[in-house]
Structure 1
Amino acid sequence: MSRHSPDLNLALRLPVSASPLRHRIAEAIVEQVRLGRLGPGDALPSTRTLAADLAVSRSSVVDAYDELVAAGYVVARPGSGTRIAEGADSAATAGAASHVPTTAAVTASAHPPRRPPPTWDLTPGHPDASLVSTTDWRRAWRAAAAAPVQFTPPGPGGHAELRLALAGHLRRTRGIVADPDDLVIVPGVASALRAITVAAGLAGRDVAFEEPGYVDARRALQMSGARTRSVEVDGDGLDPRSLLETDAAVYCTPAHQYPLGARLPAPRRARLVEWGAATGRLLIEDDYDGEFRYDVSALPALRSLDGGRECVTYIGTASKVLTPSLRLAWMLPPRALRDPVSEALALSGETACAVTGLAFARFIESGALTRHLARASRTYSARRTALVTALRRHGTGVRLDGVEAGLHLVLRLPDGCDDDAIAAALSRRGITVPPLSAYLADRGTSRGLVCGYARLPETQADTVAAVIADVVRRHLCRPDS
């Protein structure tokens, strides 16, 4: 007597799609199970018979059966043929597929249509990565790839080449004399803030924080347990006279206050460092875009002032210099906090990629970073001038702040204006720009638009300014504005 069940004629109908033939055959069999025409224990036709019925190659049927076996829909045993597995009916009813849908199918069925990208993206904090020399970039990465493979993550004490290169860069560009051993490489500013919060014991204590200020930095401090106390800034940035005895630390952006753009004057810088050194309080200096300034001389970093080495934690980043995709930042804590910072990072496991760090070191050592900064500064200066000129040409009487440095400016609006509504109206007209109120912890009365110009071509500045001016004018003319 035959050991095999007689071959069945399933009369399968293969779905019409761009999927490979094996997937379509498997889908058709699963559909038969879902409809109840096949059940657990039922035998499938031989691969030869089904191939003939479908007028396809036998190999495609074999591949489909293998797929169903791997998915648990069928069981193939020598001498017993291929049979529907126990539980296959429940899986089919639940909609479990025998394979991962193709990219095209996922795009078409699983994801809703995406909104088209903005015509002009003025989101601040994003440099123009297209300005980076591809020749220098590739050369740096080839050099990093040629280095021996590291078997362990670099950790807080790693990145020796990058720390040495950065020490020279900081001396040349920011006037900071630093021992490479005192520099700590981290995968971002937030990582640096988390580490310094732990190292300095800031959890549960007040940290004076600029208002308006950098939202991500405020969030990083708060999530680490610190209490951020909002200190309103004026046209010159943070005023040291607004600090309290209860403040354990101060977070500030003296090179280009974020987002208003003020440059902290030298007298305030000196008083701030004197306060930190005299009281033993910590100053956290976020120098996020200190390399870019226009028509003004450079002011010394807080860290470079007398007493700064004892009370200032300096933080810099590659995000504004080259691209945020590098995920590289560096911090220079006071010598007394160097080991506690390293311990905090070791416990958290946060570390920057060794290959990325080595590539950036080669980029600095070769002089490519110096050339890039010179080229980028010229370009950003021209784009800033084009946007400022265009906004003033189409102006509605609003003030422009923060035009002397950095990669963004602030278009100030009268108090009481709804800058959220203006930003939403601009979005509908193809311009992405955040409202100033988004940077306020207490959603105070300050209103404006924070316009990043690093990625705005000079030829587009007049068009963008005309749209901004039109939208602002329409909102200012409303009786309820």
Structure 2
Amino acid sequence: MARASVVDAYDELAAAGYVVARPGSGTRIADGADTAASAGAAPHVPTATPATAPPRAPRQTPPIWNLTPGHPDTALISTTDWRRAWRAAAAAPVASAPAGPDGHAELRLALSGHLRRTRGIVSEPDDLIIVPGVTSALRAVTAAAGLAGRDVAFEEPGYVEARRVLQMSGARTRSVDVDADGLDPGSLRDSDAAVYCTPAHQYPIGARLPAPRRARLVAWATEAGRLLIEDDYDGEFRYDVSALPALRSLDGGRDCVAYIGTASKVLTPSLRLTWLLPPRGLREPVAEALAFSGESVCTVTGLAFARFIESGALTRHLARASRTYAARRGALVGALKRHCTDARLVGVEAGLHLVLMLPDDTDDTAIASALRGRGITLPPLSSLRADPDGPRGLVCGYACLPETQADRVATAIADIVRQHVG
């Protein structure tokens, strides 16, 4: 047995009070240790007889293929780069207090450069605020902008969790239907105090907001002091198409756009790490709202992500992941087109999911339920709408679907769809 293991065992016994180490005289059993050990022993619990034992709950069979959007493939992260980043973070001095809204200086510096390179957003590190999630960012922005009791235009269908957070923060969300190009600025009203949108890859339809609409949206917000909340949840991934500018990067964007980015789709949701660029006039009110709520990101986590960016590991990961996701997307698109001959697929140009559109009178909830019986988990499009009436479809995340399994999944989907569509 290794000496370190023995030392660790003695340390645990000493910490529990079972032994006492005296320099020069060795380690001895502490007085009363035998009593303490007996007192701490677990009492005997008689085993239930078959006649009285409660029936076992049926074992839940996990899905064979989880196509729920929002789950990147963490196996694509370089273990070497990941461990190196965390070792470097662990070597830093231990923080004496949680990092508040003005903390994470190294991460804010690293993210400022990353956003300039990848999203065309020019910002100072001090403009950025690190928060533990998109919902935290939304709560802080809603409070800072005074959106409680005011109308916030919200994409329909859209990100249910964001809608719920805005509503719980007091805002009145007003559904605005999206079309093939995403949110139409012409659908906005003078009474709207703000807009929540996902212009890089509309969730869930997947539309990429065209440049003219982006410019109109920023102009609409600028002319009357309105707020645009830009959720750039998976803007790093696009396939065979050129990048479109973030709303925040456009002229006037710094004064009206609250830009939200996250590590959830880039690396893993378990990091609980999001970055927020509030409009210049809202930076301090947002910081005050976060300080009041006490929400913060672990200092070590922030340092590890900063090291991951600074070392070039994030750039390498994005390149590697983009190639893999593009191949998986291509495999699923091809398989769905082969097996669902009348399929209309949308949202295939970017992101980590696509939508298989279905006839409007289809019960997509029943189809999703039937697919669960075949080991496939995915959300029906109708579940992402505030209005139950509207387009129907299946939202298919492909980030974790191996290319070799795409044909089997598409075959199962086509089979179930045929059973429910006349």
- With normalisation by structure 1, the TM-score equals 0.78
Q: Choose from 262, 270, 273 the match for 1:328.
A: 273
Counterpart in the other structure of 1:211: 156
> Take 2:39 and 2:268, find their aligned partners in 1: how far apart are those partners?
46
> Take 1:458 and 1:138, find their aligned partners in 2: how far apart are those partners?
28
CA RMSD across the alignment:
2.1
Counterpart in the other structure of 1:467: 412
> Take 2:241 and 2:36, find their aligned partners in 1: how far apart are those partners?
70
Counterpart in the other structure of 2:227: 282
1:230 aligns to what SS in structure 2?
strand
1:401 equivalenced with 2:374 (yes/no): no
* Amino acid paired to 1:470: D
1:66 equivalenced with 2:11 (yes/no): no
* Amino acid paired to 1:427: R
Pick 1 or 2: higher relative contact order, CA cutoff 8 A, min separation 6: 2
> Take 1:235 and 1:438, find their aligned partners in 2: how far apart are those partners?
19
> Take 1:446 and 1:135, find their aligned partners in 2: how far apart are those partners?
45
Gaps of 5+ in 2: 1-31, 48-52
> Take 1:427 and 1:283, find their aligned partners in 2: how far apart are those partners?
37
Moved over 3 A (4+): 61-65, 97-102, 108-114
Counterpart in the other structure of 2:18: none
Q: Choose from 121, 124, 130 the match for 2:75.
A: 130
1:224 equivalenced with 2:197 (yes/no): no
* Amino acid paired to 1:425: A
Counterpart in the other structure of 1:163: 108
Counterpart in the other structure of 2:319: 374
Contact 1:416–1:445 under 8 Å retained in 2: no
Deviation of residue 112 (structure 1)?
Answer: 3.5
Q: After superposition, where does 1:43-442 map in structure 2 within 5 Å?
A: 66-67=39-40, 112-442=57-387
* Amino acid paired to 1:201: G
Deviation of residue 63 (structure 1)?
Answer: 7.4
Deviation of residue 99 (structure 1)?
Answer: 8.3
- The structure having more radius of gyration, on CA atoms, is 1
Counterpart in the other structure of 2:26: none
Contact 2:336–2:343 under 8 Å retained in 1: no
> Take 1:146 and 1:303, find their aligned partners in 2: how far apart are those partners?
35
CA 1:393/1:363 → structure 2, altered by over 3 Å: closer, same or farther?
same
2:356 aligns to what SS in structure 1?
strand
> Take 1:284 and 1:98, find their aligned partners in 2: how far apart are those partners?
57
Contact 2:379–2:394 under 8 Å retained in 1: yes
> Take 1:137 and 1:220, find their aligned partners in 2: how far apart are those partners?
32
Contact 1:396–1:473 under 8 Å retained in 2: no
CA 1:459/1:335 → structure 2, altered by over 3 Å: closer, same or farther?
same
> Deviations 1:233-260 (Å, cap 9, x if unpaired)?
0000000000001100000000000000
**Structure 1 residues 112-121 or 456-465, which shifts more?**
112-121
CA 1:291/1:429 → structure 2, altered by over 3 Å: closer, same or farther?
same
> Take 1:144 and 1:110, find their aligned partners in 2: how far apart are those partners?
49
* Amino acid paired to 1:454: A
2:330 aligns to what SS in structure 1?
helix
> How many residue pairs are counted as aligned between the two chains?
385
> Deviations 1:95-152 (Å, cap 9, x if unpaired)?
xx958999xxxxx989844412100000001110100000000000000000000010
Contact 2:102–2:129 under 8 Å retained in 1: yes
> Take 1:98 and 1:338, find their aligned partners in 2: how far apart are those partners?
57
> Take 1:169 and 1:245, find their aligned partners in 2: how far apart are those partners?
35
Deviation of residue 411 (structure 1)?
Answer: 0.3
> Take 2:239 and 2:264, find their aligned partners in 1: how far apart are those partners?
20
* Amino acid paired to 2:361: G
Contact 1:396–1:472 under 8 Å retained in 2: no
Counterpart in the other structure of 2:421: 476
Contact 1:122–1:431 under 8 Å retained in 2: yes
> Take 1:286 and 1:117, find their aligned partners in 2: how far apart are those partners?
31
Contact 1:67–1:99 under 8 Å retained in 2: no
Counterpart in the other structure of 1:453: 398
Counterpart in the other structure of 2:8: none
* Amino acid paired to 1:421: A
> Take 2:55 and 2:119, find their aligned partners in 1: how far apart are those partners?
50
1:210 aligns to what SS in structure 2?
strand
Gaps of 5+ in 1: 1-58, 69-96, 103-107
Deviation of residue 379 (structure 1)?
Answer: 0.2
Give aligned-pair identity as a percent: 77
CA 1:432/1:100 → structure 2, altered by over 3 Å: closer, same or farther?
farther
> Deviations 1:378-425 (Å, cap 9, x if unpaired)?
000000000000000001412100000000000000001000000000
> Take 1:325 and 1:181, find their aligned partners in 2: how far apart are those partners?
25
Deviation of residue 443 (structure 1)?
Answer: 1.2
> Deviations 1:6-36 (Å, cap 9, x if unpaired)?
xxxxxxxxxxxxxxxxxxxxxxxxxxxxxxx
